[in-house]
Structure 1
Amino acid sequence: MPRMEPSSFPFGFDIESSSLPEVSEAQLSIIDCPIGTVPILRNNVDNMAVQHAGSTLASNGEQFEEAGIKYWDDRLIYGTQASINVYAPYVNETSKDLSASWLQISNGPKDRPVGIGAGSWVFPSLSGDSHPRFHIKWDDEFQVKSCIDHSCQGFIQVSRRVGLGGRIHPVSVYNGKQYVINVSILKDPDTSNWWLSYGKENIGYWPKRNFRFMRHYGDYAYWGGFVQGPTASSNPPQMGSGHFASEGYGKAAYINNIRILNGENEFITPDIIRAFPGSSVPSKYTYYDVGGGDNGMHVLYGGPGGKR
């Protein structure tokens, strides 16, 4: 029988309420499944499209751009958590591109690291609509492919209330009300399984048997946005709010309350010296106001892409 929660919770696990004005927590659609069952959401597209989406993320030939914080730590990373500001960036429905607001932990060869991540995606060719949805992605090291939600075996869901791929609502409004999702990924020190939580809801875990490089820890983390797909560089979609990071809070997307789990099973603020903020294409996406404090690190990011 699968575990229903980690064997213990780290010190400082609860994400503090945002100190920013006009910020509330966005919600996933709640489903009350019978005991012994979990919600598996159907996509609005056929199975071939879902398989294509999974293979798309695994392909080295896909175009990819990003803006956010890359973080390397040789003291090792056993988890991360953050508040992700949720917008609905414009993505051309026929492009098969996606736009994500994301956190991730990785390990392995520098030229092809493997990892696990979660966050908000707008991915019309997968979902059949342009709504932000909560997705996970991880790399199957043994089958050498990337997996989305339940597209392949490897993620054990325990929540009867939250379905992967569920719509996130409400979403933030430019220069108006702001909404965030609170996401945590942590390694259970007793079982070595990697747990995923959405707010206070334990969604499920990746068993340690899934991994070789990620079996014990990560050495790299990422917080920010990315776009990926056949035209993500040549005709890039919006990222974040669709506005440049320098416009500031309430207008540009952000991730704050960023913390990492250390070897003492404590969530701490990342070391700013080990953080490398950047953008792969500054003319289309930018980052701004990277800093840290008692409540974690923060960064603003995003941009209009090719939509002017």
Structure 2
Amino acid sequence: MGARATINLWNPAVVYPEVSFSQIWLEAGPEESLNTVETGWLVDTVSYPRNQAKMFTFYTGSRYAPNNLLLPVSIYDGPQVEITIAIWKDQVTGDWWLRIQDENVGYWHKDLFTHLKGPAEAIHWGGEIVNTKPRVLIRFGGASYFRHLKFLDDGFIERDPVNLQTFVTKPNCYDLLLYMDPPGTFGVNFYYGGPGFSSQCPI
């Protein structure tokens, strides 16, 4: 019925026409008619030339809505900046709500969806890059992380995810380290990222 995480904020070094995301997304339905709701931060050199992290929301109706610039961001070997994001389904209306830093900021109406009129069938936390060039130049930042990964069960109870599956499309370019820390620390968390193009990541 929902998901939450605290996400480390960065301004990864990207150049046109590259895009770098860190996001939470929930999905339901088969691949040919998949429904998703997604939110997080991105640096998008295609639509928004200023190289600055921004909030974004997305759903499978192809509506794309950037929000405010995110300032400040984390500094390598310096202060770390975070944002806590949650997506949850209202048990009365069936709408999907977006919550940022303990404030409800908006929702996706249930009528936007077919499969997500019911519960989400999968939850994803992670990063993504988009690059039309043959070489992967994009950085994810320095030791970016998600912490306090949570999901809402059918009883609207927040729980730690178990049996998580990790997936890295280019392990020579990027890495992901999953940890199950005790409550009161980072909880379920992972570090991810990498430098992109290098001698170990030639294409």
1 CA distance for matches of 2:127 and 2:189? 13
Q: Show the counterpart of 2:146.
A: 255
Consecutive unaligned residues in structure 1, runs of 5 or more: 1-77, 141-145, 150-163, 244-251
3-state SS of paired residue (1:131): coil
- The count of aligned residue pairs is 197
Amino acid at match of 1:136: T
Deviates more, 1:212-221 or 1:180-189: 212-221
2 CA distance for matches of 1:239 and 1:222? 20
2 CA distance for matches of 1:202 and 1:291? 28
2 CA distance for matches of 1:290 and 1:236? 27
Shift of 1:172: 0.3
Q: Show the counterpart of 1:51.
A: none
Kindly indicate whether residue 136 of structure 2 is the aligned counterpart of residue 236 of structure 1.
yes
Q: Report if aligned partners of 2:35, 2:114 keep a CA contact under 8 Å in 1.
A: no
Amino acid at match of 1:138: Y
Amino acid at match of 1:276: Q
3-state SS of paired residue (1:126): coil
Q: Show the counterpart of 1:130.
A: 51
Shift of 1:201: 1.9
Q: Deviations over 1:205-259 (max 9, x none)?
A: 001100011111111111111002423xx22243431x4xxxxxxxx00000110
Write out aligned runs for 1:1-308 (5 A). Answer: 78-92=1-15, 94-95=16-17, 97-110=18-31, 113-140=34-61, 146-149=62-65, 164-231=66-133, 234-241=134-141, 243=142, 252-271=143-162, 273=163, 275-294=164-183, 296-306=187-197
Amino-acid identity (%): 25
Q: Which has the higher contact order (CA 8 A, sep 6+)?
A: 1
| Structure with higher strand content | 2
For the pair shown, the structure with the greater C-alpha radius of gyration is: 1
Amino acid at match of 2:167: G
TM-score (norm: length of structure 1): 0.61
Shift of 1:105: 0.5
Amino acid at match of 1:147: R
TM-score (norm: length of structure 2): 0.90
Q: Report if aligned partners of 1:117, 1:137 keep a CA contact under 8 Å in 2.
A: yes
Distance 1:236 1:147, change over 3 A: farther
